[in-house]
Chains A and B, each alone.
Chain A
Amino acid sequence: MVSLIAKHALSGQAPLALQDLHFQIEDLGPITSIAPFNGQESALNAVLEAGHGLRFPVPNTSTQQAVAKLLWSGRGQAFLVGVAPDARLAAHAAVTDQSDGWVTLGLEGARAEAVLARLVAVDLRLTACPVGASLRAQVQHIPALIHRAAPQVFHIMVMRSFGQSAWHEVSEAMRGVAAR
């Protein structure tokens, strides 16, 4: 039996710190997409409450219980991150492991908003994008899920194959902001 070695899409990438800005790879643990079947939303919510203490998020938001988070990720879909999914969810939703398919980049700092303003055509200021917000947008032209984990912390999730490009775009924008 061949033993496969898991390799991160950005393995070996060192964190980048420029002045107060900090950029690094985040490990959110397991990532599972949860897409409720038609008419199963309330049954799914009951299982989510029982198994994870979470409710399915409304668009552009997330719900959290300790390390478990449910991030809205598109129409009729959310990503469960941090914990393995309760087996009972599969009766009410399409449950798909996405752990190796996505790369999460963490951007932290008082000027993180200014960095992302160069890349994302959505208002990410705290008033329009509160802590917990989880929205789909493009980083340059890369489809991404942007989650505000804390007032000065953004998690940028992109598909694995875009990891290197997303790292490049954000780090270049960081250099631009830091040079001002």
Chain B
Amino acid sequence: MRLSCPLCGPRDRREFYYYGSDDYLNRPHSDPQADASSGGWSDAWEDYLHLRDNPAGRLRDLWYHEGGCGAWLAVTRDTSTHQVFDVALVVDLKGKAGS
């Protein structure tokens, strides 16, 4: 498996460290007032920490290019065909809806 780093170009999978689903990009907002009554827990945090899709198909997850440029990458790939559709810099996704 090879990933095309947007900065370094196509590189071997062993240069990359796997982090997990791109759900980690959507950290729930903390609301101090609501947290005071709920103890800081909410369904949103439950989802963020524990609930993951497990699709046979397209999925986006996070990888770190530790053997290269040190960038965090969002990789869109297919778990059944192993095709890699897109590799994007996480820093470029910041502020975009759904990311």
Q: Which residues of A contact B (CB under 8 A)?
A: 59-60, 74-75, 77, 121-122, 135-138, 141, 143
Q: A59-B7, A75-B7, A75-B91 are contacts. A121–B12 as well, Cβ < 8 Å? A: yes
B62 CB to closest chain A CB, in angstroms?
A: 15
Find out whether the CB atom of B7 lies under 8 angstroms from the CB atom of A137. Answer: no
Q: A75-B91, A121-B12 are contacts. A138–B69 as well, Cβ < 8 Å? A: no
In addition to A75-B89, A136-B68, 11 A-B residue pairs with Cβ atoms within 8 Å of each other are A59-B69, A60-B8, A74-B71, A75-B69, A75-B71, A135-B68, A136-B8, A136-B69, A137-B15, A137-B67, A138-B15
* Complex CA distance for A135 and B7, rounded to whole angstroms: 10
Q: Does B35 contact A (CB under 8 A)?
A: no
Q: How large is the interface on B (under 10, 10 to 19, 20 to 34, 35 or more residues)?
A: 10 to 19
- Select the residue from A122, A136, A143 with max chain B CB neighbours within 10 A: A136
Q: Does B11 contact A (CB under 8 A)?
A: yes
* Complex CA distance for A143 and B66, rounded to whole angstroms: 8
Q: Does B70 contact A (CB under 8 A)?
A: yes
Residue in B11, B12, B15, B69 whose CB lies within 8 Å of A74: B69
